[in-house]
């Protein structure tokens, strides 16, 4: 053991874990990873100071591993869909959690897991820890800057997306010229992008992705990445509006290249006051 | 001319005009119809006391026709999509209306047409005029009655749909067990039904269709009909929740048969108080 700060990573799919590991490394942090078979990318597991592999559905063993490695703080990052997390042979600890929940959605389940970790002396940190540089401040981020009409529409979309997420429906809407073309509910962002792009017929169409008012930053933080820009490009969505300082841009170098190459605007918008 | 009450009908697509004509006939009303080529069903035009056919996009000529027929009150019923209404060779009067609008959506356009009729001494009546019997009171309407869990979910869906329509996004949501599966925005109700049904995998899935808070009953009144029930049946949506006294059930005999045959519940829900 060293006297560096140790942070545990409960690592799901995609580039989020690798982004965290790179950022935490720069701060000289010791990283202990609980990786999940079929979810975590194997490359990232080779980069950390200690790793063990688990099945999705196991909680007791990852906790024991973290305790052995003296992990007192961890992050839960990368997608593990709640279905995947609990469908596959849950261990007794997970069964107990499930039984205690009256509502089962991503938020209640992740919160319950976080509470369980907390009882074992392991705090769950915001999943944005060390990632401030991936949380854009207000203004143009990459690609063509919005003109005045674009900015008005971005503010409109932000207001609509905030209302929709306040209702716990979803994080994204697709808008054009003051009309909501598509609302993301259960189908996921990429299908919402495709539907909105089709309905908007490639003119001034904007994806707006936001956090929930009072978002718990330990999980479900809105993320955009290269696949978001590619999905928009394919669907004829020309602008991506994210919430300033609340949305993670992952794969940021690739996102920049894609925005510039395909002329997709990435714009960070501050939440405006709600009328009424 | 007779001394009966005369009501003009600006008639769009579908069974709404025929339903109105049948109901108005029973009240002994004289009916003068402005029918539109490619929109109005020809059968209904044969049922009325006077009819003339126009192209969608004409307004000056229907106004003149109504004035000749001493029409001082009219209804605008049946779908004419705003795009269709104005895309096809608008007359000068319609061009003038369009030029005066800063926002162009169904509501602003229909309202502008209603204002223009008003200036010519023709009042636009609620499109529910004479149709009280097609506006169900709270409670089960047709098909299997909801159980207690179903009623709780219906109230939840009503709250969500009301919030979504308050934002002018759309009139419908698809819910299941306290989760919004799909929100209707620009794609239309039937596509929203299909998406929600797919996502819900045929279990306890409910379509909820409502009016906007403060709905102008002269246009855009929510309507369900036989095609709604058939779309739900095909998509695996087992329940249709409508807003009591605010949603028109058209083709009501066929709707009853379809609900009973396919075990689709049609339930009229009163709006509940909004929390917060």
Q: How far is B156 from chain A (nearest CA, A)?
A: 11
Nearest alpha-carbon partner for A19 in A224, A207, A171, A170: A224
* C-alpha span between A175 and A153 (Å, rounded): 8
CATH classification at residue B226: 3.40.140.80
What pLDDT band is residue B8 in, cutting at 50, 70 and 90? very high
**In chain A, what is the straight-line distance between the N-terminal and C-terminal CA atoms, in Å?**
56
Residue B149 maps to a domain:
yes
Q: How far is B167 from chain A (nearest CA, A)?
A: 7
CATH classification at residue B86: 3.40.50.20
Nearest alpha-carbon partner for A259 in A171, A140, A151, A179: A140
B31 shares its domain with B148? no
Residue ranges of chain B whose CB lies within 8 Å of a chain A CB = 103, 105, 160, 163-164, 167-170, 173-174, 178-183, 185-187, 195-196, 199
User: Which residues of chain B have a CB within 8 Å of the CB of A164?
Assistant: 164, 167, 169, 183
Q: How much is the ipTM here?
A: 0.85
A70 shares its domain with A162? no
List the single residue in B with minimal CA-CA distance to A159.
B167
Alpha-helical (H) ranges within A76-138 are 82-87, 92-100, 106-119
Q: How far is A181 from chain B (nearest CA, A)?
A: 5
A204 shares its domain with A91? no
Mutation target vs B (from A160, A183, A194; most B CBs, 10 A cutoff): A183
For the residues A238-263, what does the mean pLDDT come to? Answer: 96
Last residue of a domain, one of A66, A95, A124: A124
Residue A129 maps to a domain:
no
B143 shares its domain with B118? no
Residue B60 maps to a domain:
yes
- Better-predicted residue by pLDDT, A198 or B109: A198
Last residue of a domain, one of B124, B151, B170: B124
B114 shares its domain with B62? yes
Residue B130 maps to a domain:
no
A186/B185 Cβ within 8 A: no
Nearest alpha-carbon partner for A29 in A54, A59, A50: A50
Give the other-Cβ count within 10 Å of B81's Cβ. 14
- Better-predicted residue by pLDDT, B55 or A109: B55
Closest residue to A185, CB basis, from B163, B168, B181: B181
Q: Give the number of domains in chain B.
A: 2
B199/A186 Cβ within 8 A: yes
Residue A215 maps to a domain:
yes
B181/A181 Cβ within 8 A: no
pLDDT of residue B275: 45
Q: Is the pLDDT of residue B172 over 80?
A: yes
A80 shares its domain with A170? no
* C-alpha span between A121 and A128 (Å, rounded): 21
Over residues B64-77, the pLDDT tens digits come to 999 999 999 999 99
Residue B1 maps to a domain:
no
B117 shares its domain with B184? no
Nearest alpha-carbon partner for A122 in A76, A73, A75, A77: A73
For the residues A11-23, what does the mean pLDDT come to? Answer: 94
For the residues B181-209, what does the mean pLDDT come to? Answer: 93
B32 shares its domain with B110? yes
Over residues B142-161, the pLDDT tens digits come to 999 999 999 999 999 999 99
Q: How far is B52 from chain A (nearest CA, A)?
A: 35
A187/B180 Cβ within 8 A: no
Radius of gyration of chain B (CA): 19
List the single residue in B with minimal CA-CA distance to A177.
B103
B181/A160 Cβ within 8 A: no
Question: Are the C-beta atoms of residues B128 and B76 closer than 8 Å to each other?
Answer: no
B162 shares its domain with B48? no
Residue B75 maps to a domain:
yes
A86 shares its domain with A152? no
What count of CB pairs under 8 Å joins A to B?
63
A149 shares its domain with A175? yes
Domain holding B189, by residue range, is 135-269
Closest residue to A186, CB basis, from B103, B168, B181: B181
Residue A1 maps to a domain:
no
* H or E element, residue A10: strand A6-11
Q: Is the pLDDT of residue A82 over 70?
A: no
Give the other-Cβ count within 10 Å of B132's Cβ. 10
pLDDT of residue B90: 83
Alpha-helical (H) ranges within B30-130 are 42-45, 60-68, 82-87, 92-100, 106-119
Q: How far is B186 from chain A (nearest CA, A)?
A: 5
Residue B215 per-residue DSSP state: -
Last residue of a domain, one of A97, A124, A151: A124
A116 shares its domain with A242? no
């Amino acid at each position: 053991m060293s006297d560096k700060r140790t942070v545990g990573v409960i690592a799901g799919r995609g580039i989020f874990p690798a982004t965290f590991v790179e950022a935490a490394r720069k701060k000289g942090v010791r990283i202990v990873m609980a990786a999940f078979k079929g979810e975590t990318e194997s490359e990232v597991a080779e980069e950390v100071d200690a790793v063990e592999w688990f099945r999705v559905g196991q909680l007791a063993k990852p906790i024991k591993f973290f305790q052995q490695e003296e992990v007192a703080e961890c992050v839960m990052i990368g997608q593990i869909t709640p279905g995947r997390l609990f469908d596959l042979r849950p261990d007794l600890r997970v069964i107990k959690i499930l039984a205690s929940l009256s509502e089962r959605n991503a938020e209640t389940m992740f919160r319950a897991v976080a509470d369980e970790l907390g009882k074992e002396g392991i705090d769950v940190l915001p999943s944005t820890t060390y990632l401030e540089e991936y949380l854009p401040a207000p203004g143009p981020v990459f690609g063509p800057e919005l003109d005045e009409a674009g900015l008005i529409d971005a503010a409109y979309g932000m207001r609509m997306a905030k209302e929709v997420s306040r209702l716990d429906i979803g994080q994204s809407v697709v808008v054009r010229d003051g009309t909501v073309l598509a609302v993301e509910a259960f189908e996921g962002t990429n299908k919402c992008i495709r539907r909105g792009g089709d309905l908007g017929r490639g003119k001034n169409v904007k994806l707006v992705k936001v956090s929930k008012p009072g978002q718990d930053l330990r999980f479900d933080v809105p993320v955009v990445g290269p696949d978001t820009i590619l999905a928009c490009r394919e669907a004829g969505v020309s602008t991506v509006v994210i919430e300033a300082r609340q949305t993670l841009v992952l794969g940021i170098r690739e996102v920049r290249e894609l925005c510039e190459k395909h002329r997709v605007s990435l714009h960070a918008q501050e939440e405006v006051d709600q009328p009424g």
